[in-house]
Structure 1
Amino acid sequence: MDSPIEVNIAATKAFGNFHEANRKRLPPTTPVQSPPQAKWSKPPPGYFKVNCDTSFLQHNASGGLGYIIRDSLGRVIAAVSQPSQFTSPLQGEALAPRTVLLEAISETLDRVHVESDNRDLILYLENPGKAPPSTLSPILEDIRFIASQFETCLFFHISRDINSVANYLAQKASSLACRTSWSISTAWLRDLCNSDASAFAASINF
């Protein structure tokens, strides 16, 4: 007859064998992967991409516009922070593309993609039959007219994560006294753009 210790050892071995056999029958587990993080992407060759955004200070109905224009290699053509007056965030979001399209004309760019993280604004631009607030109508009319001066001008809605550089430029505008065009050699701008375009294999050459 086995001693209590021998019985305990045998039971432990039996449990271990049972656990191992069941483990082998289980399907292999797949590691949980996080979805890829959205990143800014280059426009097609020959096109320029415009990203614009707005900051709004409700207590004094003021804020700032921020926008950046980059070419198909990711090089910065213009990066601007501009203080502005407007009565609502949506009105400011509409002023931003109007302002940057005028900048694009001054830079003699003829094919542009305009990106904004405001879905309502893009829906109004894509659907002229959709009635906007009265304060928005004249600005939308201006945008459509200015857009018609380009060979190609397309509007896209993107997530705020992808619009990070324009958002930062707009935030800086709130603390400025006048329009500021940032040098492409500005350290924080270079860092932001390289981070924003990290989907590229190499860093951007300014």
Structure 2
Amino acid sequence: MLLHGGKAQEPSRITTRASELIEDFKASRDQLAIHASREVVQLWCPPPGTLFKLNFDAAVFMDTESSGFGAVIRNSMGEVMAALSAKGPLVANSEEAEILACRKALEFAVEAGFQDVVVEGDNATVMNGLTADKPVNSWLGYIYEDARCLAMRLRSVSASCVRRSANGVAHSLAKFARQLSDDYVWLEEQPTPAIEALYADSFATA
């Protein structure tokens, strides 16, 4: 007889229980391995041909009651044609921040003279609203409409939702806006706040 938990236990029962715990551990470990293997890391992909890709993102700064917008326009070789970091207003939620960033990014692309653009963001709600056939029936509807009107000023435009891992440069520029008071623009140069993210994306064009 052996003591376990203050009670006498048969050795055979302890051995059986130990085997059960080992099997439970193996099952849990295998389940975790399967879950990890299903997590897909999406890489930024350059646009085809003569198109330009516009990535945008937003960040919310609760401590300063403000937001930040980031946008980057790159060609088929992954070269930065233009980039923007801008401070935004206090927002109610992430959707408002993202659609404001989208509108700002499209305005930036139009004013910079780009005509054929692929737009990418990592907020599914915003990207679905931007490409929907019907008006967005919410208090943010007018901002969606503004963004659509700006998109119509482009010669050709398409839009899709990507994972955050494929939107790293825009995300870095959005976070950089925390320390800004005015818009900061880079033209045909790599934006310093996003160097690491640009390096990660470079594998897509290697």
Q: Sort the TM-score into its range (normalised by shorter chain).
A: 0.7 to 0.9
Shift of 1:187: 4.8
Identify which of 188, 202, 205 aligns with 1:200: 205
Which segments of 5 or more consecutive residues in structure 1 lack a partner in the other structure? 1-31, 202-206
Shift of 1:34: 5.6
Identify which of 37, 47, 54 aligns with 2:51: 47
Which segments of 5 or more consecutive residues in structure 2 lack a partner in the other structure? 1-33
Shift of 1:61: 3.6
Question: Conserved in 1, the CA contact under 8 Å of 2:66 and 2:89?
Answer: yes
In the alignment, which residue of structure 2 is the partner of 1:114?
119
% identical aligned pairs? 29
Confirm whether residue 126 of structure 1 aligns to residue 131 of structure 2. Answer: yes
Secondary structure of the 2:85 match is: strand
In the alignment, which residue of structure 1 is the partner of 2:20?
none
The within-5 A match list for 1:61-76 is 61-76=65-80
- Against the structure 1 CA distance between its residues 61 and 186, is the aligned structure 2 distance closer, same or farther, given a 3 Å change threshold? closer
Question: Conserved in 2, the CA contact under 8 Å of 1:39 and 1:197?
Answer: no
Identify which of 98, 101, 104 aligns with 2:103: 98
- Provide TM-score, normalisation by structure 1: 0.74
Secondary structure of the 1:174 match is: helix
Q: How many residues align?
A: 169
The within-5 A match list for 1:19-30 is none
Identify which of 61, 79, 86 aligns with 1:82: 86
In the alignment, which residue of structure 1 is the partner of 2:156?
152
Question: Conserved in 2, the CA contact under 8 Å of 1:41 and 1:197?
Answer: no
Task: Look up the equivalent residue of 2:159 and give its one-letter code.
Answer: F
Question: Conserved in 1, the CA contact under 8 Å of 2:58 and 2:171?
Answer: yes
Shift of 1:153: 1.0
Question: Conserved in 1, the CA contact under 8 Å of 2:78 and 2:205?
Answer: no
Task: Look up the equivalent residue of 2:69 and give its one-letter code.
Answer: L
- Provide TM-score, normalisation by structure 2: 0.74
Question: Conserved in 2, the CA contact under 8 Å of 1:42 and 1:49?
Answer: yes
Q: What does the per-residue CA deviation read over 1:93-134, in whole Å, with 9 as the maximum and x for residues that have no partner? A: 011121111111122111001100000001112224364421
Shift of 1:78: 1.2
The CA distance in 1 between the partners of 2:177 and 2:167, in whole Å, is 16
Query: Larger radius of gyration, structure 1 or 2?
Result: 1
Query: What's the RMSD between the two structures over aligned residues?
Result: 2.3
- Against the structure 1 CA distance between its residues 70 and 37, is the aligned structure 2 distance closer, same or farther, given a 3 Å change threshold? same
Secondary structure of the 2:204 match is: coil
Shift of 1:171: 0.6
Task: Look up the equivalent residue of 1:43 and give its one-letter code.
Answer: P
List 4+ stretches of structure 1 deviating above 6 A: none
Greater helix share, structure number: 2
The within-5 A match list for 1:4-15 is none
Task: Look up the equivalent residue of 2:163 and give its one-letter code.
Answer: S
- Against the structure 1 CA distance between its residues 157 and 75, is the aligned structure 2 distance closer, same or farther, given a 3 Å change threshold? same
